[in-house]
Amino acid sequence: MHFDNSMAELLDDRQEWLRFSQPHTSKSIHEADDCWDSHVVVQGMHCAACAFTVEEALLSVPGVHSAEVNAATHRAKVVWSAARVKPSQWMAAMAKAGYGALPAADSSLRQARHEEGRRALWRWLVAGFCMMQVMMYAYPAYVAHEGDITPEMVFLLRWASWVLTLPVVFFSCGPFLGNAWRDIRARRVSMDLPVSLGMVITFLLSSAATFEPNGLFGGEVYYDSLTMFVFFLLTGRWLELRVRDRTAGALEALMNRLPESVARQLSNGEFERVAVRRVLVGDVIRVLPSESFPADGVILQGQTLADEALLTGESRPQVRGVGDSVVAGSHNLSGIVTVRVVQVGKGTQFSQIVSLMENASLQKPRLAQLADRIAKPFLVGVLVLAALSAVWWWPSSPSHALMVAVAVLVVTCPCALSLATPAAMLAAAGNLARHGVLVRNLQALESLAEIDTLIFDKTGTLTQDGQRIAQVVTADGVTPKYALALAAGLAKHSLHPLSRALVQAHNASASSPAPDVQDVVEMIGHGLEGHLNEVFRLGSAAFCAPKTKGLPDKASVCQVHLCSENEWLASWQLSEDVRSDAVQTVQALKDLNVDVWLLSGDRPESAQEVAQQVGIHQAFGACTPQDKLSRMQAAQSQGARVAMVGDGLNDGPVLAGAHVSMAFGNAVPLAQSKSDLVLMGSSLLVVAQSVKLARQTLRVVRQNLVWAATYNAVCVPLAVVGWLPAWLAGLGMALSSLWVVLNSLRLTKGF
């Protein structure tokens, strides 16, 4: 595969890297400060063995630290050092191995996919046309009795069939034969090798019988079988290509949300069109109706409706006017707006979402890893079995022996086995993404399907994220305004929902900013401590009481308390509204036979009140993160499979300890979230819907694996004993792979 030098020069431009790469953040690599993560789409792949080949080619390049290739999505993630290698070098290594590469966000990717589909369609049409003509010429031989057709006519019909088979072999079979020849030269095995051997053997055997009917291999020709099984294989490949595009559609639709260029304001007030990657923080841009916002920003002028469905799961357009924030990747639906850019590149929420989805699409669940591990030994076993079958049948009929070997080679191709798990997992992940649930870890779908217990946090999870101050109690001589300002000075250093509520209340009522409290430290699950002339604490009663020798009775109903080094200053009671779909969510989980718990750091009374509202019977309040973890581990020790749903902040330990964890993306920056699934919208019902879809996904995976195993168990013996003709073997192979993909496609429908 040729690698264009001009393309190499373009890809080696550091400015171009941001199109498909981002700086590597892991510190596990010695040169992490100059390492990059690049995502590319691999061209020319057809199976799990191809994925291994691409990985080996990439890892052979000095400076490439790791490479992950997914056979189902044809995507690769490459971690490389800019000090030792350039993108053109590791892409050239892929080209040398016989595979092309396109940046995952490249504007030409869609065109390349269209061209691939067009070529596949042409090969299929040629094979179909020639197959029908060959069948027409073969028909007389099937129905005629001895003496009905002269030898000259038989030779003419066979010669015509041979001519019609040439386009099938040299054009329609091109991808199979090309990949097989590439593998032979590289001394490796892929799924195209046994299929190609079957094609070549059938064609040569039939050609020998055509031009040497009295030779060693007799007078039987198999042009009809050859053209039929090529047609069936190409039918399966073409339909798989179409279905793969649909199952990978959510990721591609998301990645293609950013425009190629945008109008940026110059110093003289005029606008010029520039590439999106040239936009910097502070620039002023103009976004027209039907365009996407290329960066996070604040609207300076104009009003519009923004479609944020793929980013948040919110299906209704959102009104955005002057002063409102807009996010990269959302669509401007109605008006012309001028926006000041506040975040670009990897700092945008859009970039974080794309990164999460790309990484998830490259992961291989346990079942998929097992299938990949056995694919290569299985292929070697196929070649050996075909050879042994030919040896067994050779004494009775060399021609029949070779056709038995062909049937074995074709029917045993493990395409269905390799597709069984990733096709289903990726279809489900794409469906979840369209509804605002990002899957960080594909293995989590398998774990989520097996849960029997689900634990909710209360604040910001079962209740609305925003809260309001319902009551304030202050010490003598302390005004509520002063106390709130001091509390906001501490709270602005935290992302906890109660802290955010205090900051918002101060910003809404005060004309001056909160004091700048120094050396603020957050004790997760307890509160904040900082220095402003003296040490102040903001947090739970247990956190503040030791400093003040207890809190006054009038503050006992409050959740948040403020104290100095030796005295209590103020307390606040914040009211929170239960999410509108919380009751429906809890009932839906119970209908799925999931035991629902509530563990909260809030007062036991508050936790019980919310639990009663939503229908949860197991509720515990005043829980520290360690308390939550201990209760969860106690349930796990009794055999429970536990999922945890929290806000991703003070729930870190219990989220990490759960079999599968879910967190709301608006509660914590995505880059900090360690949850397996991130809920981008405000809907709680997606939790129950995700559990239901995960269970359906696992059922589909098992169906796929059982089908693939049963198909091989039934068809291989039939091929070995000579009862399965080559054309029927080709049909069986195509249908088995197609059935797996179509069965997985069911997961993209509904929710």
Q: What is the pLDDT of residue 120?
A: 86
Whether the predicted pLDDT of 112 surpasses 70 = no
Tokens 């910001």 -> residue: 460
Q: Is 532 helix (H, G, I), strand (E, B) or coil?
A: strand
Q: What is the pLDDT of residue 48?
A: 63
What distances in angstroms separate CA 98 from CA 45, 54, 155, one per listed residue?
9, 9, 40
Task: Indicate the average pLDDT of the chain.
Answer: 80
Identity at 464, one-letter amino acid code:
Q
Distance CA 384, CA 407 (A): 13
Quick: pLDDT tens for 727-739.
777 677 777 777 8
Whether the predicted pLDDT of 356 surpasses 80 = no
Max mean pLDDT range (330-334, 402-406, 584-588): 584-588
Quick: pLDDT tens for 689-720.
999 999 999 999 888 888 888 887 888 888 88
Percent of the chain with pLDDT over 90: 17
Pairing of strands 660-664, 75-81: unpaired
Mean pLDDT is lowest, of 105-109, 280-284, 560-564, 571-575, for: 105-109
pTM, whole model, 2 decimals?
A: 0.63
Kindly indicate the confidence band of residue 180, based on its pLDDT and cuts at 50, 70 and 90. Answer: confident
Whether the predicted pLDDT of 172 surpasses 80 = yes
Q: What is the pLDDT of residue 29?
A: 52
Beta bridge partners of 567: none
Whether the predicted pLDDT of 666 surpasses 80 = no
Task: Answer with the residue of higher pLDDT: 61 or 183.
Answer: 61
* Average pLDDT for 342-348: 79
Beta bridge partners of 100: 43
Does residue 457 carry a catalytic annotation?
Answer: yes
Whether the predicted pLDDT of 286 surpasses 90 = yes
Task: Answer with the residue of higher pLDDT: 748 or 374.
Answer: 748
| CATH topology identical between 258-291+296-343 and 468-575 | no
Mean pLDDT is lowest, of 138-142, 478-482, 507-511, 597-601, for: 138-142
Identity at 491, one-letter amino acid code:
A
SS (H, E, C) 16-28: HHCCCEEECCCCC
Q: What is the pLDDT of residue 218?
A: 63
The two most distant CA atoms of the chain are separated, in Å, by: 120
* Structure-token pair, residue 269: 């007030």
Kindly indicate the confidence band of residue 501, based on its pLDDT and cuts at 50, 70 and 90. Answer: confident
Q: What is the pLDDT of residue 528?
A: 92
Q: What is the pLDDT of residue 24?
A: 73
Whether the predicted pLDDT of 10 surpasses 90 = no
SS (H, E, C) 358-379: HHHHHCCCHHHHHHHHHHHHHH
* Average pLDDT for 177-188: 80
Identity at 143, one-letter amino acid code:
V
Kindly indicate the confidence band of residue 171, based on its pLDDT and cuts at 50, 70 and 90. Answer: very high
* Structure-token pair, residue 541: 């009663």
- What residue spans define the domains of the chain? 5-106, 113-249+360-424+702-748, 258-291+296-343, 468-575
CATH of 258-291+296-343, one of 1.10.3720.10, 2.40.10.120, 3.40.50.300, 2.70.150.10: 2.70.150.10
Whether the predicted pLDDT of 357 surpasses 70 = no
Q: Which listed residue (37, 192, 307, 457) is catalytic?
A: 457
Whether the predicted pLDDT of 1 surpasses 60 = no
Q: What is the pLDDT of residue 731?
A: 72
Tell whether domain 468-575 is in CATH 3.40.1110.10. yes
Whether the predicted pLDDT of 31 surpasses 50 = no
Residue ranges of E strands in 551-647: 560-563, 568-575, 595-599, 618-620, 642-646
What distances in angstroms separate CA 521 from CA 387, 517, 535, one per listed residue?
71, 11, 11
Q: What is the pLDDT of residue 669?
A: 56
Quick: pLDDT tens for 669-685.
554 456 788 887 778 89
Angle between helices 726-745 and 685-720 in degrees, nearest 10: 170
Whether the predicted pLDDT of 109 surpasses 80 = no
* Average pLDDT for 580-598: 93
Whether the predicted pLDDT of 108 surpasses 60 = no
Q: What is the pLDDT of residue 165?
A: 92
Task: Answer with the residue of higher pLDDT: 289 or 33.
Answer: 289
Distance CA 645, CA 447 (A): 14
Q: Up-side HSE of residue 71: CA atoms within 13 Å toward CB?
A: 27
Quick: pLDDT tens for 528-555.
999 988 899 999 888 887 777 777 887 8
* Average pLDDT for 297-325: 79
- Output the CATH code of domain 5-106: 3.30.70.100
* Average pLDDT for 470-478: 89
Quick: pLDDT tens for 211-226.
887 766 666 777 887 8
Beta bridge partners of 570: 474, 562
Whether the predicted pLDDT of 247 surpasses 60 = no
* Average pLDDT for 124-134: 91
Distance CA 390, CA 201 (A): 12
Long-range CB pairs of 5-9, under 8 A, 24+ apart, other chains included = 7/88, 8/88, 8/91, 8/92, 9/88
* Average pLDDT for 253-272: 79
Beta bridge partners of 242: none
Q: Which of 327, 190, 163, 202 has its CA nearest to residue 258?
A: 327
